[in-house]
Structures are given as C-alpha cells and as structure tokens.
Chain A
Amino acid sequence: MKIRLRLGPALLVLVLLAALAVVTMVYAAGQTLLAGTMLAITALALWVYSSARTYAWRYLFPGIAAALVFVVFPMVYTMAIGFTNYSSRNLLEFSRATQYFLDETFHGEGPSYGFTLHADGPEFRLRLEDADTGKAWVSGRLALRSPAALELRLAPEGETPLALAEPVPLKEVIARQKSLQALTLVLPDGATKLVMSGLRQFGSVQPLYRRNADGSLTNLQTQGVLRPNMVTGFYETEAGERMQPGFQVGVGFANYVRIFTEPAFREPFVRIFAWTVVFSALTVFFAAALGMFLAVLFHWDALRFKGVYRTLLFLPYAVPGFISILVFKGLFNNNFGEINLILDALFGIKPAWFSDPLLAKAMLLIVNVWLGYPYMMVICSGLIKAIPADLYEASAVAGAGPLTNFFRITLPLILKPLTPLLISAFAFNFNNFVLISLLTGGRPDFLDTRVPAGTTDLLVSYTYRIAFQDSGQQFGLAAAISTVIFAMVAVISLLQMRFTKVAKD
C-alpha cells in the first residue's frame, strides 16, 4: 500500500522532468511560442494533479486540454492570422528572416587555397595548400557521408608525421561535393574561416550583412543599407526595393478591407456567398422534403415490404461520403461517365456536367440530396411515430384525405422539433467542403474575375483555394475569410439554439 501511494507522485515527477526537458529543447530550437504553450500546459497539469481542490479536473484535464489545444486554439489562431500578411512571400517570422540575411556570406578579398582530398581507410583527410607561400594544412579524418554543417580546425602539415595517400580523383570530390560544401575550415590562427569556393579550392568567407544598432542591415560587399519595413513585411533597400524573403507583420484590418472593398475580391466573395446560401438552403429543402415524404409513406399501414425499402434507401447514409462522392464524379463524367452513356442512348444528349456552371450546380444538388435525405428520413420517422394515432383516426372520421392529414396534422406537429435539425443541416452544408472539393473542386471557374474563383465554390472551398492552391498561399487573406465564416456560423448556431429552446418548450 505504501509503495502504491508513492507511485503516483513519482510518476508525476518523472513526467514533469520529461516535459521540462522537451520544453527546453523546443525553446532552444527557437520556437518560443510553442515552448511557452507547452510550459503553460505542463504547469497547469502539475497544479491539477497535485492540488486536492482540483480533483474533478484530474478527469477533465486531458480531454479539455486536447480540445483547447487542437480545436479552440487553431480557431483563435486562424483569427489572429487574419490580421497578418502571412503568405508564401511573407512566410518567416521577423527573427528568422533577419537570421536568413545574417547567415548569407560572400567570398571576401582574402586568399584562396587549393585543396586535395586523400583517402585514409574508409574516410578522408583534406589538405589545403597556399600556392604563394607553399604552406599546407591537414584536417582530421572525415566520413563525408552526409551534408551536415561542421566547423573544422586544421593543423599545419608538418606537425603530424603523417603520410597522406595519393589525392583521390576529381570524380570522387564531385561525388562528395555536398558534404564538402557544408564544411567550414578554420586555420590554426583561429580567425581565417574558409568554405569551398570551387572544385579545387577553398576561399575565405565573410558574412554579407552586418546588423546595425537601429536594426538595419549593412551589406558589406556593396555598403548598401537594408531597413526592415514593418508595414510591408520586407527588408527594403534605400531605393525601396523589396528583398526576399519577407517576414510576417500585422496588417490590421487590411485583409478585411480587401475582401469587402477591393472589387477584385469583393466580386467573387459576394457571388460565392450567394451560391453558398442557395446551395445549403436548396439541399436542406429537397433532402428534408424527400426524407419527410418517405417517412410519411413508411408510416402508412397499407404499404408492404417497408423493411426492404427502408434498408435500401438508408444505404447512402452508411457508405463513407468520400467514396460515394468520387463514385458520382466518375458516373457524371462528361465523356466516359455511365450517366451520360444512358442519357445518350435514351435521348441522344450528353450534358456537360463539369463545364457548364448551371449543370455543375444541378449535379451538386442531386448528389448532395442523395447523400442527405436518409438522415432526414430517419429523423422524420422518429418524429412521426410520436404523433398520437387518435389524431389521424379523428381526421379519418371527419373524412379527410392524406393531403389534409399531412398539411394539417403531420407537418405542423413535426416542424417545430425538426427546425433546429434543419438549421444544423444548413450549417453543415454551408461548410460542406468535402463535397465540393471531391466532386467539382469549385470548377468551372468564373471567367471574369481576377482572383481564381469557381462558380460552384462554397466560401470554405474558396478559402482553401486561396490558402493552399492557386493563389500563392495567401494564408492571411484566407484566414480573414475563415473568420468571416466563423461569424456566419456563430449567427446560424445562435438561431439554432433559439429554435432548440422553442422546440423544448
């Protein structure tokens, strides 16, 4: 019992030490933000698992922490990225971009030294020779198998009584060029640093830039000055020329201004938003109508073989979506698709499902209703079952037909509990990225917009294109649009909660 009691704290200390070691590693690698996050989580974990007052949180902590770190944090981070110029041109953080410039070197005026490579067992030694003075230096043994950066001190040749083998042929040098280029040789004086400057020589190098006190960089070769511009996110020369790589800077609401005021972005945004709403609304309407109709049919006592129908009609819900969507992509193919094969045989037509915007939209709706109606069918079946049978008996006595029954009894009674589900279905289709991405990819594209945008794109897939496909990875802009979608989803969710409350009352 005593051992068991000690086991917990011992484990905690071990985990803590491991976590601290990892945090130190991350910090050393220059990822301050990541290290900070991990440290905060570790500290929180320590408090939760050592304090008696937080007992319930011992059960909650892992789950809630995972949800916060991998679900909530990415959302907040997305919003933050929306206020930056993060893109493929401004990819690095400021410190890293600066480091990139400081790491650049140029071959200074110092002398060059011829070098030869000599085999020593399976490894090699380098020999440098100053052609003017005849002085020579030799390195220790080198494997030269991988291009790892390495700083190497050389010894004067005379000091080691060593007989070097014949120099290896140039072919061998070329084969190991990558490893050799990664080397920095240091002469015994400690100050002269040399890197490979040709296939037969090493030359002295100097850093290309020097950092000044005011944060600007001086080019030591041309004496030009680069100044970081915190508005554009680039180091700029005095003439205003931007130097790659750029770095991330905050741009305030610039991305939002672009989305809502610049015609090049506003045009496609408005059109895509309109289609997103139409697409979600029509999908929900048709899927719900079909599902409800089927549910009503299955509630009808006179109908036989209901089980068979229901099982077969449920199938689209059970098959993984990504497979069904791709199946439809093949079936609808303009030239080789089986659907056009049948239409051609029956009516002699071959609709261009993927290149005509209107047909592409129709296809998306057909496929999405096919995917979505079984869920509505199941839900409506459940709701209809809960309607008391005597209502229908009373209406039968009054001589009402099935249409009257549906519009006077069934629909009004199930609509109230159904509304929140319809709204959540709307929200789901509002962000139905998988369907668009796998079926049309947003194509066919608008021909009259300057930014690539598709006639069948939803806001989410448009965002994806801006971030990861054809618009130069404009993460900042994409994140801003995502944030706008967040706001829309929030509004839809509020509506849903309101209606859920109404349904419960």
Chain B
Amino acid sequence: MAIVLDKSHRWRVVAAHLFLIGLTAMVIFPFLMILSISLRPGNFAAGSLIPETISLEHWKLALGISYTAPDGRLVKPDFPVLLWLWNSVKVATLTACVTLALSTTAAYAFARMKFRGKRFALGGLMLMQMFPAVLALVAIFAIFDRIGSVFPFFGIDSHASLLLAYSGGIALHVWTLKGYYDTIPVEIEEAAKVDGATPWQAFRLVLLPMALPILMVVFLLAFIGAIIEYPVASVLLHEEAKLTLAVGSKLFLYDQKYLWGDFAAAAILSGLPITLVFILAQKWMISGLTAGGIKG
C-alpha cells in the first residue's frame, strides 16, 4: 500500500508499542512473580519483589526432598506434589487412550458409513457438549457412590472412577476426527476393499495411519483436558494420596496454612510441562489440520 505517512502515524506507532509493552508486562507479571517467589526463602512476602537471597527450599520440598532450615529444624514436604503429578499424568494418559479409542471408531462410522439416526446422533453429540459436567456433579457423586458400594475399585476416591467419568467426554473429539476423515479421499480405502480388505482392516490399516497427525492432536487435547479438569475430580477424590494436581494444588493456599513459596515451586514444576504439551498440541493442530491427508 502506498500511503503518505504523516506525523500522527509515527506517534500512533509509538503509542501502540507503549501500550503493548505495558500490557505484556502486566500479563507476564504473575509468571515472573511466581518464579521469584519460588526462589525466595520463607512463605511470606519479604518486602522485595526480586529475592535478595536465592533459596532452593521450596523446590526441594516440591520435589519431595526434606531440607534443613537455618535454625537446624528438618522441614518435611507438606504435600506429595510429585505423587499428585503422577496421579494426574496416570489418569490423563489413560483417559486420553480411552477417549481416542472410543472417538476414532465412532468418527469412522460417522464419516464413512450410512445408517439410520446418523444426523440425530451427530446433533445429539453436539448438543451434549454444551452442558458442562459441573451441572451434574450431584448425580455423578451419587452414581459412583452407588457403584463403589459394589465395586470399591470404581467407587469414590478411586482413579478408575475418574477415568470412567471422563470417558464419556468424546463429543468434541468425534466432531474433530470426523472433520479430518472427511478430508481424506475415500478412494484409498475403497481400493483396499477391492483388494479384499474388510471395513475394519480398511479402517485400521489404511485410514488410521493417514490420520496420525489428528490422532496425536486429539490425544494431547484429551490428555490436557483431563489434567486440568477440576470439578468432577474435586467431587470424586478426597484422600490426600489420591488427589490429582488440580484438586491438590489449592491445599497450599488455606488461610490457616499459607504455603505461598511452596506453592510457587510446585506450580512451576507441574505447570511448565503441561503448558509445553499444550503449545505442542496447538502447533500440531495447525500443521496437522492444514497438511491434510492428501499425502497418501
């Protein structure tokens, strides 16, 4: 564009930069603060935002290592952060696997097969995900309480119950996968069928390998969705050793027991990997969805 630039234009650029720098500073402030707090000795604000002395006590506690305070006391970790992280990762990985298995197969039927009630089922799935699980907490609690009286393995305070409760959340993933399958030419599978492949073989050996990028994306999205889920987990899990990170983290910040520094270290320790996974998923989502299945 050839536009004559006047003086006000230059001022506008400067103003925009000032605004963006100010906003960025405000947005980044909590992250920098939490890093500084995690390295600061003690659990209370010491009067300066940048720590004068660096202390690794909070990091040691977050990693489950006891440390000796300056006055010779042995300080033990208050909460099993690594155990919580492990619980979260375990539940999220299993949930992602189950979700992926359930949604890839369902999406295949939606994308490639003709059957009665197809539009109804697809619409139902869309409608379903508009109602968040948080509205059904009472029923979820009652259901798993009841199941638990017969099978304690699937009852309240078990990770299996959480896995089951999450396994139903496939609606969005089915839509994503169906959309991707629709972009893959059906001719490739038809050629396989001409060569004698059953629909299952055409699905597993022909379509799935081509859909790998989207499978990764759905896996990661389901994984993250399960790791950051709070309402259902807070109702189903109570025992400290069973908690996931999302439920456990808030125990650091009770008025009676305010472990600000310990929380900061735990937050970075657990938040950083999840954030990286999320950014990775975003990247793959964009490249995976644009690359499409035309490669085959």
Surface stretch bound by B, among A71-79, A207-215, A263-271, A446-454 = A71-79
Q: Is B150's beta carbon under 8 Å from chain A?
A: yes
Type the 1/0 row for B87-100, where 1 means its CB is closer than 8 Å to any CB of A.
Answer: 00000000000100
Surface stretch bound by A, among B64-72, B73-81, B227-235 = B227-235
Q: Count contacts on A: residues with CB < 8 A to the other chain.
A: 88
Q: Is B216's beta carbon under 8 Å from chain A?
A: no
Residue of A nearest to B33 (CB): A338
Contact among B110, B164, B275 with A320 in the assembled complex (CB-CB below 8 Å): B275
Contact among B9, B136, B203 with A77 in the assembled complex (CB-CB below 8 Å): B136
Q: Is A226's beta carbon under 8 Å from chain B?
A: no
Contact across chains for B252 and A479 when beta carbons are under 8 A apart: no
Contacts of B115 in A (CB 8 A): 56-57
Surface stretch bound by B, among A100-108, A172-180, A307-315 = A307-315
Residues of B213-237 contacting chain A, CB below 8 A: 224, 227-228, 230-231, 234-235
Contacts of A337 in B (CB 8 A): 45
Contacts of B168 in A (CB 8 A): 66-72
Contacts of A69 in B (CB 8 A): 168
Asked whether A74 and B140 contact (CB < 8 A) given A59-B108, A468-B235, the answer is: yes
Contacts of B23 in A (CB 8 A): 294, 313
Type the 1/0 row for B239-276, where 1 means its CB is closer than 8 Å to any CB of A.
Answer: 00000011001101100001010011001001100110
Contact across chains for A312 and B253 when beta carbons are under 8 A apart: no
Residue of A nearest to B4 (CB): A396
Contact across chains for B102 and A63 when beta carbons are under 8 A apart: yes
Contact across chains for A31 and B150 when beta carbons are under 8 A apart: yes
Q: Is A14's beta carbon under 8 Å from chain B?
A: no
Contact across chains for B170 and A370 when beta carbons are under 8 A apart: no
Contacts of A485 in B (CB 8 A): 135
Q: How many Å lie between the Cα of A29 and that of B149 in the bound state?
A: 8
Q: Closest CB-CB distance, A298 to chain B, in whole Å?
A: 9
Residues of A166-187 contacting chain B, CB below 8 A: none
Contact across chains for A486 and B275 when beta carbons are under 8 A apart: no
Contacts of A312 in B (CB 8 A): 24, 27-28
Contact across chains for B146 and A478 when beta carbons are under 8 A apart: no
Q: Is B1's beta carbon under 8 Å from chain A?
A: yes
Q: Is B212's beta carbon under 8 Å from chain A?
A: no
Type the 1/0 row for B46-77, where 1 means its CB is closer than 8 Å to any CB of A.
Answer: 01010000000000000000000000000000
Contact across chains for A25 and B139 when beta carbons are under 8 A apart: no
Contacts of A75 in B (CB 8 A): 131, 135-136, 139
Contact across chains for A319 and B271 when beta carbons are under 8 A apart: yes
Type the 1/0 row for B125-136, where 1 means its CB is closer than 8 Å to any CB of A.
Answer: 101101111111
Type the 1/0 row for A439-450, where 1 means its CB is closer than 8 Å to any CB of B.
Answer: 000000000000
Asked whether A34 and B135 contact (CB < 8 A) given A66-B170, A71-B168, A336-B45, the answer is: no
Q: Closest CB-CB distance, B80 to chain A, in whole Å?
A: 17
Surface stretch bound by B, among A195-203, A216-224, A325-333, A404-412 = A325-333
Q: How many Å lie between the Cα of A204 and that of B234 in the bound state?
A: 46
Interface residues on B, range: 35 or more
Asked whether A77 and B164 contact (CB < 8 A) given A336-B44, A431-B134, the answer is: no
Residues of A65-124 contacting chain B, CB below 8 A: 66-75, 77-78, 81, 86
Contacts of A78 in B (CB 8 A): 135-136, 138-139
Q: How many Å lie between the Cα of A77 and that of B17 in the bound state?
A: 54
Q: How many Å lie between the Cα of A28 and that of B147 in the bound state?
A: 13
Q: Is B83's beta carbon under 8 Å from chain A?
A: no
Residues of A278-297 contacting chain B, CB below 8 A: 294, 297
Q: How many Å lie between the Cα of A342 and that of B130 in the bound state?
A: 41
Q: Is B211's beta carbon under 8 Å from chain A?
A: no
Contact across chains for B279 and A318 when beta carbons are under 8 A apart: yes
Q: Is A323's beta carbon under 8 Å from chain B?
A: yes
Type the 1/0 row for B29-49, where 1 means its CB is closer than 8 Å to any CB of A.
Answer: 011011001000000110101
Q: Is A493's beta carbon under 8 Å from chain B?
A: yes
Q: Closest CB-CB distance, B144 to chain A, in whole Å?
A: 10
Q: Is A364's beta carbon under 8 Å from chain B?
A: no
Contact across chains for B274 and A434 when beta carbons are under 8 A apart: no
Interface core residue of B9, B16, B137, B164 (most chain A CB under 10 Å):
B137
Residue of A nearest to B170 (CB): A63
Contacts of B31 in A (CB 8 A): 315, 319
Q: How many Å lie between the Cα of A331 and that of B32 in the bound state?
A: 12
Q: Closest CB-CB distance, A330 to chain B, in whole Å?
A: 5
Q: How many Å lie between the Cα of A389 and that of B139 in the bound state?
A: 53
Q: Is A152's beta carbon under 8 Å from chain B?
A: no
Contact among A313, A393, A482 with B24 in the assembled complex (CB-CB below 8 Å): A313
Contact among A56, A303, A326, A393 with B109 in the assembled complex (CB-CB below 8 Å): A56
Residue of A nearest to B24 (CB): A312
Contact across chains for B134 and A303 when beta carbons are under 8 A apart: no
Contact across chains for B3 and A336 when beta carbons are under 8 A apart: no
Asked whether A71 and B228 contact (CB < 8 A) given A336-B44, A489-B131, the answer is: no
Q: Closest CB-CB distance, A413 to chain B, in whole Å?
A: 19
Residue of B nearest to A392 (CB): B1
Q: Closest CB-CB distance, B75 to chain A, in whole Å?
A: 19
Contacts of B102 in A (CB 8 A): 62-63, 66
Q: Closest CB-CB distance, A47 to chain B, in whole Å?
A: 14
Asked whether A26 and B263 contact (CB < 8 A) given A81-B142, A313-B23, the answer is: no
Residue of A nearest to B114 (CB): A56
Contact across chains for A324 and B45 when beta carbons are under 8 A apart: no
Q: Is A384's beta carbon under 8 Å from chain B?
A: no
Q: Is B20's beta carbon under 8 Å from chain A?
A: yes
Q: Is B197's beta carbon under 8 Å from chain A?
A: no
Contact among A34, A70, A72, A338 with B150 in the assembled complex (CB-CB below 8 Å): A34
Q: Is A253's beta carbon under 8 Å from chain B?
A: no
Contact across chains for A479 and B138 when beta carbons are under 8 A apart: yes
Contact across chains for B45 and A338 when beta carbons are under 8 A apart: yes
A residues near B (Cβ < 8 Å) are: 25-26, 29, 31, 33-34, 55-57, 59-60, 62-64, 66-75, 77-78, 81, 86, 294, 297, 300-303, 305, 309, 312-313, 315-316, 318-324, 326-331, 333, 336-338, 341-342, 370, 389, 392-393, 396, 402, 424, 427-428, 431, 433-434, 437-438, 460, 463-464, 467-468, 475, 478-479, 482, 485-486, 489-490, 493, 496
22 A-B contacts (beta carbon < 8 Å): A34-B150, A56-B109, A59-B105, A59-B203, A67-B171, A74-B136, A75-B131, A297-B16, A302-B9, A303-B13, A312-B28, A313-B20, A313-B23, A320-B275, A322-B250, A326-B249, A327-B30, A336-B44, A337-B45, A393-B1, A463-B138, A489-B131
Q: A31-B149, A74-B139, A475-B142 are in contact. List 16 more A-B contacts (CB 8 A).
A: A29-B150, A59-B105, A59-B108, A66-B167, A67-B169, A70-B168, A81-B139, A302-B9, A315-B27, A322-B245, A327-B34, A331-B30, A338-B45, A467-B138, A467-B141, A496-B130
- 10 shortest A-B CB distances, which residue pairs? A70-B168, A63-B106, A63-B102, A74-B136, A59-B109, A77-B139, A56-B115, A71-B168, A56-B113, A74-B139
